[in-house]
Structure 1
Amino acid sequence: MKNTNNSVWINVGEASGDMHGAMLAKELFKRDPKLKIMGMGGSAMEKSGCDIRYSMQLINLVGLTEVFPKLPGLLRLFGKIEDILKKERPKAIILIDCPDFNFRLVKIAHKLGIPIYYYITPQIWAWRQGRAKFLQKYVRKILCILPFEQQFFKDRGVEAKYVGHPLLDIIPISDLDAIRPDPDLIGILPGSRSKEISSLLPEFAKAAEMLSKDFPNLKFSIARAPGVKEEKLRRLWPDHLPVTINQPENRYRLMRSSAAIMSASGTATLECALIGTPTLVAYKMAPLSVLLAKLVVKVKFASLANIIPDKLILPEFLFDNATAENFYGQVKQWMREPDTADAVRAELMHLRELIGEPGVAGRTADIILQDLDLI
């Protein structure tokens, strides 16, 4: 029997998912103004008109060792969401990335007979590839955003639709291209999660101190992610070294205006790549999580800017290599040898061509709503 309830639930678990969830929500509202969208998310989804029942901060975790202490609370959260789904009976669940949480939600929704759409599928090609069969069993439609993912799923007997990368809808690339980078500005993107900020920002700061001795005219600017307090960033930065804090809405201008960027691994590095700025990629995890990752990860690179073209364009400093000395050495090379930075910029222009065309959120909304009419 067709579900006549005109509501959907969107579930995201971190800042980039919140951004993409908000874009999708706007497109869904355009096509059906009477639609009610609720779920788990952040400020971007809330501003787009979604009824946020639970904050994504409840599940914003990095690494397995950080999940275990919060497991009882997470189990209670699943129970509360299941109660809401039983009561509200949304006609669809739309999941965005965040597999460790959303895969459990998949089973809950499937048990309740609610169709599941996975938009921005988790990067199971990097590890736990067997999860493709899980998605085939429980998810009605898989909507992937990386050009090679459709073939990955097809090779495993799973139907998936490539819709393009949603960053193309968000980044005003043509406007940003008109901005001339400041040769004395270094951008710093320490991430959105508390643990990664605490582990990476002090190393970025030490690198900045070393760079400022070699290049006295350098300026440093930190991009504050949504939900991150400026006081936390200031606390982890030395008082004697001047720095500006950019607000979240200005991050793209900072990315374009910078001569080079030191960034935590994640969506931000792909944003920097599409904008065209040489960026070093840094990533740290708890020692046990590092050990587990090395055992199961099946890709050569950490950043999508390198994974998509299958070549190292942005230098990566992972785990024990994520040190101030390494960051300093890389940025110093770009500053002292401009040809090396220009070579990175040229490679990044080619990366844009691989990603696809704008209109991703609209195409995704069309696919979901048209499919729901068939149920």
Structure 2
Amino acid sequence: MNTIWLNVGEASADIYGSLLIRELLSKDPRLNIIGMGGPSMREAGLKAIIKAEDLSVMGLTEVVGALPKILGFLKKIKRELERQRPKVLVLFDAPDFNFRLAKMAKKLGIPVIYYIAPQVWAWRKNRIKFLKRFVDRILCIFPFEQSFFAQHGIKTVYIGHPLLQVMDLKKLNQITPDPNKIVILPGSRVKEIKALLPVFADSCQILKQKKPELTFSIVKAPHINMDLLRTYWPKSLPVTIHPPKERHRVIAQSCLALAASGTVTLECALLKVPTIAAYKLSWLSYLVGRLLVDVPFISMPNLILNQKIFPEYIQDQANPDKIAAKALSWQEDDTQRQKIRSGLTKIQQILGQNQATQVAARAVMEYV
């Protein structure tokens, strides 16, 4: 039996992993697909050695607190790699964890493919040497990634972005946004929600005072507890909380979004929803990040277009008054919103055709 190990540590990558599993099993139903993944991957057929949601940490200080658990996971994975000897190891993002697996695989003679590569073009460029030594092939989801890695002599395949296969853009783009509906997307990690949801809630209270007709929706991320969201949202402010499967529909129905910087900002961009992006870390993580980050923006739509089409509020700039003021200016000026929507039309063209998963599966099967 041919075994493939997939390793995912992020909620968004769990969806892409599930698409890849289904595509691989369609090519060979006898494949034994094991590793670390979330609920979508397990539903698609992953035999999970570890659940991805058990590794939901962010930032330097947060990782330090979870270190004993992380070390336990790594020890368990090493035992399984030695025992099961997969034909190939496919890593998704999460470099601080997955780089250790790449090292293990190299020692065991197991080829390594990186799908959703670490953003070394943005920060910690010294990691290029590691990728060149321990990774056999990188599957690039952004066009500029391929040229960057190729310049450093790393074998790459450009596959396009799998998000285009997750979203039914033709159907979603037919939805007419409600001019009074604002969607809140506070992140997929507990730490993100604790840091950002109170800020977004206070912003919405300011907006509600100015414009009572506004309504608010929160989209719950997979494996996030509903009680957690309600804890950080005031009882006096009405809100509708939607399950993860309704995410794209709810975003498309909204006139604007308040979002944690991450994959969801790209989803908003593809749906042409004006979005205010925010992010907060512990101060130590933020100070370290400032020394290492080498890009002008934190939101992927801004990086793809090389312009600040979505405003970004980081650390102390992510405060209710500033976010509410920007949202209010958009609410009162439809011309601004239309200008943003027009600017976002280029993103789908840049991200390529809806073939990412098929191309990725072919690359993986070469090693099987």
TM-score normalised over the length of structure 2:
0.98
1:18 offset after TM fit, Å?
0.7
Does 1:284 pair with 2:285? no
2:162 and 2:49 mapped to 1: Cα distance?
A: 24
Match of 2:92 in 1: 96
1:72 and 1:124 mapped to 2: Cα distance?
A: 27
Residue of structure 1 aligned with 2:175, choices 163, 174, 179: 179
User: Which letter does structure 2 place at the counterpart of 1:120?
Assistant: I
Asked whether the equivalents of residues 133 and 158 of structure 1 are also in contact (C-alpha less than 8 Å), the reply is no
2:97 and 2:271 mapped to 1: Cα distance?
A: 31
1:57 offset after TM fit, Å?
2.3
Match of 1:68 in 2: 64
Asked whether the equivalents of residues 122 and 294 of structure 2 are also in contact (C-alpha less than 8 Å), the reply is yes
Asked whether the equivalents of residues 120 and 127 of structure 2 are also in contact (C-alpha less than 8 Å), the reply is yes
1:6 and 1:156 mapped to 2: Cα distance?
A: 32
Deviations 1:177-215 (A, max 9, x none): 110001110000000111110110011001111101111
Match of 1:50 in 2: 46
Match of 1:209 in 2: 205
Match of 2:293 in 1: 297
Instruction: Give the aligned CA root-mean-square deviation in angstroms.
Output: 0.9
SS state of the match for residue 67, structure 1?
helix
Does 1:113 pair with 2:113? no
Does 1:233 pair with 2:229? yes
Match of 1:311 in 2: 307
1:93 and 1:351 mapped to 2: Cα distance?
A: 31
Counting aligned pairs with the same residue, the percent is 43
2:78 and 2:199 mapped to 1: Cα distance?
A: 42
Match of 2:340 in 1: 344
Does 1:360 pair with 2:356? yes
Asked whether the equivalents of residues 136 and 155 of structure 2 are also in contact (C-alpha less than 8 Å), the reply is no
TM-score normalised over the length of structure 1:
0.97
Deviations 1:143-188 (A, max 9, x none): 1101100111122222211110110110110000110001110000
SS state of the match for residue 238, structure 1?
coil
1:178 and 1:100 mapped to 2: Cα distance?
A: 40
Structure 1, unmatched stretches of 5+, are none
2:130 and 2:82 mapped to 1: Cα distance?
A: 23
1:314 and 1:111 mapped to 2: Cα distance?
A: 44
1:119 offset after TM fit, Å?
0.7
Deviations 1:337-366 (A, max 9, x none): 110111110011112211111011111101
1:218 and 1:44 mapped to 2: Cα distance?
A: 33
Does 1:198 pair with 2:194? yes
Does 1:372 pair with 2:367? yes
SS state of the match for residue 148, structure 1?
helix
When the two structures are aligned, how many residues end up with a matched partner?
A: 368
1:75 and 1:273 mapped to 2: Cα distance?
A: 37
Match of 1:29 in 2: 25
1:42 and 1:287 mapped to 2: Cα distance?
A: 29
User: Which letter does structure 1 place at the counterpart of 2:148?
Assistant: F
1:69 offset after TM fit, Å?
2.2
SS state of the match for residue 348, structure 1?
helix
SS state of the match for residue 305, structure 1?
helix
Deviations 1:66-90 (A, max 9, x none): 1112223222221111101111111
Deviations 1:264-303 (A, max 9, x none): 0100010110111001111000000010000010000001
SS state of the match for residue 269, structure 1?
helix
Structure 2, unmatched stretches of 5+, are none
2:305 and 2:15 mapped to 1: Cα distance?
A: 24
2:155 and 2:112 mapped to 1: Cα distance?
A: 14
User: Which letter does structure 2 place at the counterpart of 1:61?
Assistant: V
SS state of the match for residue 281, structure 1?
strand
Asked whether the equivalents of residues 59 and 101 of structure 1 are also in contact (C-alpha less than 8 Å), the reply is no
User: Which letter does structure 2 place at the counterpart of 1:248?
Assistant: P
Asked whether the equivalents of residues 147 and 308 of structure 1 are also in contact (C-alpha less than 8 Å), the reply is no
Instruction: List, as ranges, runs of 4+ consecutive aligned residues in structure 1 with deviation greater than 3 Å.
Output: none
Does 1:261 pair with 2:257? yes
